[in-house]
Amino acid sequence: MHNLIAGISQASQSTSAPPVSIDDASLWHRMSDALHQSLYRVLTLLIAVLPGILAFFVALTIFILCGMLLSWLLRRCLSWIKFDARLARPGGDGWTPASSPTEIVARASFWACVVLGLIIGVSAFDVSYATGTALPISLLPYVTHAVGAMFLLIAGILIARFLARSVLISAVNAQLQYARFLSLGVKWLVLVLTAAMVLDHLEVGGKIVELAFGILFGGIVLTLALAVGLGSRDLVSRSLESHVERTGEREHVAHSASSSSEQIRHF
Amino acid sequence: MTTENSTSAVTSTIDQTTADLLVMGAAIPPERLDAVLTNVAEAFPVESVVIAAQDQPGANVPANLRIIAAPQSSAAWMLTAADFVHACEIGREQQVRAILMLGPGTDSLKPHAMREVARAALSGSIDLAIPLYTLPPHAGLINSAILYPLTRALFATRARFPLTIDLGLSMRMAERLASVGRRFAAANQVDALLWPVNEATVAGFAVDEVEVGTRDVPQPSDPDINTILASVTGSLFADIEAKAAFWQRPRRLPPARREMAEAAPADGTADVPRMVEAFRLANSNLQEIWSLVLPPNSLLALKRISVLDAEVFRMPENLWARIIFDFVIAYRLRTINRGHLLGALIPLYLAWVASHLNVTASGTSSELHIEAVAEAFEADKPYLVARWRWPDRFNS
Choice between A86 and B98, residue whose per-residue pLDDT is larger: B98
pLDDT-wise least confident of A5-9, A215-219, B198-202, B307-311? A5-9
Residue B51 has pLDDT above 80, yes or no: yes
Nearest Cβ partner for B189 among A89, A95, A100: A89
Mean pLDDT over A18-30 rounds to 70
Residue B151: predicted pLDDT: 93
Check CB contact under 8 Å for B343 and A169: yes
Q: Report pLDDT for B11.
A: 40
Confidence of residue A258 (pLDDT cuts 50, 70, 90): very low
Nearest to B84 by CA among B97, B66, B68, B103: B103
Smallest CA-to-CA distance from B240 within B349, B319, B163, B329 is with B329
Q: Are A24 and A100 in contact (CB under 8 A)?
A: no
How far is residue B326's CA from residue B388's CA, in Å, rounded to a whole number?
A: 10
Report the top-level CATH class of A138-248: mainly alpha
Average per-residue pLDDT in chain B?
A: 83
Confidence of residue B48 (pLDDT cuts 50, 70, 90): confident
The neighbour count for residue B111, using CB atoms within 10 Å, is: 15
A108 CB-near residues (< 8 Å, 6+ apart): none
B187, B286, B335: residue with CB nearest A86? B187
pLDDT tier, B266 (very low <50, low <70, confident <90, very high otherwise): low
CB atoms within 10 A of CB A222: 10
Per residue in B185-208, pLDDT tens? Answer: 777 776 678 888 999 999 999 888
Give the residue from chain B lying closest to A265, CA to CA: B139
What is the C-alpha separation between A59 and B240, in angstroms, rounded? 45
CB contact under 8 A, A98 and B235: no
**What does the pLDDT read at residue B183?**
83
Residues 6+ apart with CB under 8 A from B15: none
Among A148-152, B101-105, B119-123, B264-268, which stretch is predicted with the lowest mean pLDDT?
A: B264-268
In the prediction, which pLDDT does B7 show? 39
What is the reported pLDDT for A98? Answer: 61
Separation between Cα atoms, residue B113 and residue B131, nearest integer Å: 8
- Model pLDDT, residue A127: 72
Q: What is the mean pLDDT of residues B304-332?
A: 93
Given a cut of 60, whether residue B376 has pLDDT beyond it is yes
Closest CA to A167 of B287, B286, B203: B286
- The confidence band for A54, taking pLDDT boundaries of 50, 70 and 90, is confident
Scored b (16 or more CB within 10 A) or e, A9-37 reads: beeeeeeeeeeeeeeeeeeeeeeeeeeee
When pLDDT is averaged across residues B136-163 and rounded to a whole number, the result is 89
Nearest Cα neighbor of B101 from B31, B181, B45 is B181
pLDDT of residue B259: 63
Cβ–Cβ < 8 Å for B201, B173: no
Indicate the pTM of the whole model: 0.75
Min Cα–Cα distance to chain A from B261, Å: 19
**Per-residue DSSP letters for A122-165?**
HHHHHHHHHHH--S---SHHHHHHHHHHHHHHHHHHHHHHHHHH
pLDDT higher than threshold 50 for residue A259: no
pLDDT score of A226: 80
pLDDT on residue A209: 77
Note the pLDDT of residue A125: 76
Confidence of residue A94 (pLDDT cuts 50, 70, 90): very low
pLDDT classification of B75: cutoffs 50, 70, 90: low
- What helix, strand, coil percent values describe chain B, rounded to 5? 50, 10, 40
- Cα–Cα distance list, B168 to A150, A189, B23, B126 (Å): 59, 55, 9, 9
- How close, in Å, is residue B206 to chain A by CA atoms? 26
Q: What is the pLDDT of residue B82?
A: 84
CATH 1.10.287 region(s) of chain A? Answer: 138-248
pLDDT digits (tens, 9 = 90+) for A101-144: 888 889 999 999 998 888 888 777 777 666 555 554 555 667 77
The domain spans of chain B are 9-221, 269-389
Quick one: pLDDT band at residue B132, thresholds 50, 70, 90?
confident
Cross-strand partners of B131? B210
- Cβ proximity of B257 and B210 under 8 Å: no
Q: Please give, rounded to a whole number of angstroms, the shortest distance from the CA of B233 to a CA of chain A.
A: 7
**CB-based burial label for A38 (10 Å; 0-12, 13-18, 19+):** exposed
Q: Is the pLDDT of residue B34 over 90?
A: no
Res. A6 pLDDT band, cuts 50 70 90? low
Distance between A93 CA and the closest CA of chain B, angstroms: 6
Torsion A267-B3-B9-B13 (CA) sign: negative
Beta strands B49-53 and B21-25, pairing class:
parallel
Q: State mean pLDDT over B95-112.
A: 84
- Average pLDDT of the residues in B80-102: 87
**What is the per-residue pLDDT for B283?**
93
% pLDDT > 70, chain A: 69
Q: Indicate whether B150 pLDDT > 80.
A: yes
* Confidence (pLDDT) at A68: 93
Q: Average pLDDT, stretch A140-164?
A: 87
User: Does A51 score more than 90 pLDDT?
Assistant: no
Task: For residue A94, give the chain B residue with the closest CA.
Answer: B339
Pairing mode, strands B9-12 and B65-69: antiparallel
User: What contacts B48, CB < 8 A, 6 or more positions away?
Assistant: B14, B16, B18, B19, B20, B21, B64, B66
CB atoms within 10 A of CB A89: 18
- Give the C-alpha separation, B169 to B161, whole Å: 16
pLDDT of residue B293: 92
What CATH number should be reported for the domain whose range is B9-221? 3.90.550
Residues of B in contact with A265 (CB under 8 A): 136, 138-141, 217, 219
Touching check for A88 and chain B: CB below 8 Å? yes
Residues in chain A closer than 8 A to B357 (CB atoms): 264
In which element (H, E) is residue B167 found?
Answer: strand B167-170
| Res. B216: pLDDT tops 90 | no
How far apart CA A244 and CA A225 sit, in angstroms, is: 25
Residue A170 near chain B (CB below 8 Å): yes
Q: Which helix (H) or strand (E) holds B285?
A: helix B272-285
Spatial separation of the C-alpha atoms in residues B340 and B163, rounded to whole Å = 23
Does the structure show a pLDDT above 70 at A235?
no
User: Is the per-residue pLDDT at A40 higher than 50?
Assistant: yes
User: What pLDDT, on a 0 to 100 scale, did the predictor assign at position B8?
Assistant: 40
Cα A79 to Cα B40: distance, rounded to the nearest angstrom: 47
The per-residue pLDDT for B148 is 93
Give the rounded distance of the alpha carbon of A72 from its chain centre: 28
Summarize pLDDT for A198-214 with one digit per residue, the tens.
988 888 877 887 788 88
Model confidence band, residue B94 (pLDDT cutoffs 50, 70, 90): confident
User: How confident is the model at residue B212, as a pLDDT?
Assistant: 83
